[in-house]
Structure 1
Amino acid sequence: MFRVSLLFLILGFTCLSCKSEDKNNVGTTEENIDALLQARYTKLLNYDVDSTAFPRSYSPEKKQIKQVPSKDWTSGFFAGNLWQIYKLTGDSRFKQRAKQWTAFLEKEKFNGRTHDMGFKVFCSFGNGLSVEDNQNFKDVIVKSAKTLSTRFNENIGSIRSWDFGKDRWQFPVIIDNMMNLELLFEATKISGDSSFHKIAVKHANTTLKNHFRPDGSTWHVLDYDTISGQVRGRVTHQGINDDSSWARGQGWAINGYTMAYRYTKDKKYLDRATATADYFIHHKNLPEDGIPYWDFSHPDIPNVSRDVSAGAIVASGLVELYKYTKNDTYLNYSKKVVNSLKTEHYILPKDLEVPFILDHSFGDWSKRHEMDEPIVYGDYYFLQTLLRLKEID
């Protein structure tokens, strides 16, 4: 799976804090943490190119990399990670490899069977477009937005999330879907076609109206009646129970509404993001290091797995939220998360030959799947946080 490489990246990378157990035997100095990160980046560069085998996660028990085709909702993150490492390091090898992996995703612009067009296409082609003015990247984004728009229901005012589970719900909408709106907003900027922007706004407004609890937290799934357009039920499919506070879901809400404010400057989106952010970062069950348990409502806390991906998603969103609010609490949380993750406890060992950076993300409880493992989207939002902190610095 990996080719042996004697190349090491010698690149400056500021470590905000370095403290933890020495499971990698590299010590805890800034230089050693930097070297460990660069070694992990190189693992992504050396992962064999295969259009049918996007790396999604790694099972330590099976010692096996889970590989998925482009139709999987996580397929765009690996290319996105390579683009982001290029932006962090300036090493052109990452840019070239990112282009290769991004090209494999182009066929997804026709895939109308999923709402995850933003995760797949914008995390890959969108990151590429931020690096170079590429007309093909623009065309793919616009076509993908057209395909995603076919899932919008005017009567309900939302984009349908899942097509499975038709025995359980009529029209499911998950909080994760807020993240896919970025593709629509950008498609309007690229094409001048305002229909994409309007769909994104309608979806955000419907979610705003129905998805949130009085305490600022969010349910995972809302089911709508396709005839009346009214809510049929509220569940938390990937949480410990329907009324629980699934950590990653809170992250999608915070990050998603902050992004929606960026494109619209509608204050109600900013208010929504800050309310859920305050709920999250002041929660009594948030650990001291800022890396949340995978569900805030789990009855077995503190003997519960953490979710690095949830912490990173929130940290990335809060760097942007800080730009709009100038609330130091948000920036301080993001820096705390980076401080915690840039340690040997969370960074994978230097010699582990897998194309991931961080350990301890939590996948899907409903399937008992990818629980406490390296997962590609944990890396993606960690890298995005680093870039956003670099930008404001």
Structure 2
Amino acid sequence: MKVLKMILATCCLVALLFVYGCENKEKTKSATEVVLDKSVSKVKDVMQSLTEVDSFPRNITKGKKNWNFVGYRDWCSGFYPGVLWYAYEYSKDEEIRKGAEAFTASLKDIAYTPADNHDIGFMMYCSYGNGYRLTGNEEYKDILLASADTLATLYNPKVGTILSWPGMTEKMGHNTIIDNMMNLELLFWAAKNGGDHKLYDIAKSHAEVSMKYLVRPDNSIYHVICFDQETGEFVKGITHQGYADESMWARGQGWGIYGFSMSYRETGDEEFLNTAIGLADHFIERLPEDGIPYWDFDDPKIPNAPKDASAAGVVACGMLELSSLVKDEALKTKYFNAAKSLITKLSSDEYLSGDVNDALLLHSTGHMPHNSEIDVPIVYADYYFMEALLRLKKAESID
């Protein structure tokens, strides 16, 4: 009987230690991991409700719960597969992986059809690029290389940049937008992974010309620069999606911080790094007290202007990238803390959608001048939020 009691007591002690260990392990999760857990759970629940893998979430109408969908040729089509790949990266959930593969496969034709916009990088690198990084699927690699070649057909050697909007050449001439900096990563990647070296040259030239003409002397950014198609001569800079041509459009500043940081990482050109630093410092200096940018820093309706959570997510990713590249420890800390502050704000009840709708984040602004996607969830906000959380988790684990 004594032996039995001892065995029972030992079993109870082991059980208590196991429960305590599980509870303690849960308690030691970082704030970043807690938000990732919630986000991945929600992403999986929503994914399971979607039945058509060739229709892609883009935005949610204010007051509604469910996503509005677009076809595979919409510029936002690659972001939702990217969200799934990030959710899989964190969770290693095979069901999420299968969903990511299914949505990604629907984009294949983009690699093999003529380019009609610069967004091939967003569409293919966010989907196939993340998929290849996480799985090593050789078919994904082939499709990415083909995508890079297709994107490169928009390059104009007289100007030195990739044409952004072919449909706008009659009105604008050869046009290049700051968003296009993000698509260079596909070209840099391809040049290192079996593609022609000219893809590197195209990407570097594009970044150099963009740096010269898109970046203003005060380290704010034009949205668009226009050139004569025949001579390559610079014509003017405008801000198509911002408040005014000389205003500081928040998401454009984010594309610049992220894009020039990435270009420095890929080329080692110090001018790109210095440009990213200037853009980041200017963004930090102009942030409002609550830490999340308005859609445009110069909207005269501030503080009654809409916010842009998507811009905050893009900038957070860009500043985490920048913090990993600068050599000065004070700058590393500055940009890391700025990124973490943005992520913390986005992780608050004010910006997390919770049970309100199927997105992760509220309060993004797409195209204010066209009265389009104002103060609503937008899929690329969720994409860069997930990327920022994963980058932050990795950085915190290193520390």
Instruction: Establish whether TM, by shorter chain, passes 0.5.
Output: yes
Contact (CA 8 Å) 2:54, 2:72: kept in 1 or not?
A: yes
Larger Rg: 1 or 2?
A: 2
What's the CA shift for 1:64? Answer: 5.6
Tell me which amino acid in the other structure corresponds to 1:306.
K
SS state at 1:362 partner = coil
Q: Distance in 2 between matches of 1:144 and 1:366?
A: 31
Listed as ranges, the gaps of 5+ residues in structure 2 are 1-25
Q: Does 1:234 align with 2:250?
A: no
1:334 is matched with 339
What's the CA shift for 1:388? Answer: 1.0
1:50 is matched with 52
Contact (CA 8 Å) 1:290, 1:333: kept in 2 or not?
A: no
1:278 is matched with 281
What's the CA shift for 1:183? Answer: 0.4
Higher helix share: 2
2:19 is matched with none
State the superposition RMSD in angstroms: 1.9
What's the CA shift for 1:38? Answer: 4.5
Q: How many equivalent pairs are there?
A: 366
Q: Distance in 2 between matches of 1:153 and 1:55?
A: 33
Q: Of the candidates 70, 80, 99, which is equivalent to residue 78 of structure 1?
A: 80
Higher relative contact order (CA 8 A, sep 6+): 1
2:30 is matched with 14
Deviates more, 1:126-135 or 1:89-98: 89-98
Listed as ranges, the gaps of 5+ residues in structure 1 are 1-9, 17-29
Deviates more, 1:87-96 or 1:260-269: 87-96
Contact (CA 8 Å) 2:65, 2:356: kept in 1 or not?
A: no
Q: Does 1:372 align with 2:375?
A: yes
Contact (CA 8 Å) 2:169, 2:175: kept in 1 or not?
A: no
TM normalised by structure 1 equals 0.89
What's the CA shift for 1:88? Answer: 1.7
SS state at 2:167 partner = coil
Q: Distance in 2 between matches of 1:385 and 1:77?
A: 14
Contact (CA 8 Å) 1:318, 1:330: kept in 2 or not?
A: yes
Q: Structure 1 pair 320/249, CA: closer, same or farther in 2 (3 Å)?
A: same
Q: Distance in 2 between matches of 1:204 and 1:166?
A: 20
1:194 is matched with 197
| 1:330-359 deviation per Cα after TM superposition (whole angstroms, max 9, x unaligned) | 11111111111112211113263x2x2111
Contact (CA 8 Å) 2:292, 2:308: kept in 1 or not?
A: yes
What's the CA shift for 1:211? Answer: 0.9
Q: Counterparts in 2 of 1:124-273, with a 5 A limit?
A: 124-273=127-276
TM normalised by structure 2 equals 0.88
What's the CA shift for 1:165? Answer: 2.9
1:19 is matched with none
Contact (CA 8 Å) 1:51, 1:69: kept in 2 or not?
A: no
What's the CA shift for 1:167? Answer: 4.2
SS state at 1:234 partner = strand
What's the CA shift for 1:63? Answer: 5.5
Superposition misfits of 4+ residues, deviation over 3 angstroms: 10-13, 33-39, 61-64
Q: Structure 1 pair 166/11, CA: closer, same or farther in 2 (3 Å)?
A: farther
Q: Distance in 1 between matches of 2:176 and 2:27?
A: 43
What's the CA shift for 1:110? Answer: 2.3
1:108 is matched with 110
What's the CA shift for 1:62? Answer: 5.6
SS state at 1:282 partner = helix
Contact (CA 8 Å) 1:115, 1:161: kept in 2 or not?
A: yes
2:17 is matched with none
Contact (CA 8 Å) 2:44, 2:96: kept in 1 or not?
A: no
Q: Does 1:65 align with 2:70?
A: no
Q: Does 1:317 align with 2:318?
A: yes
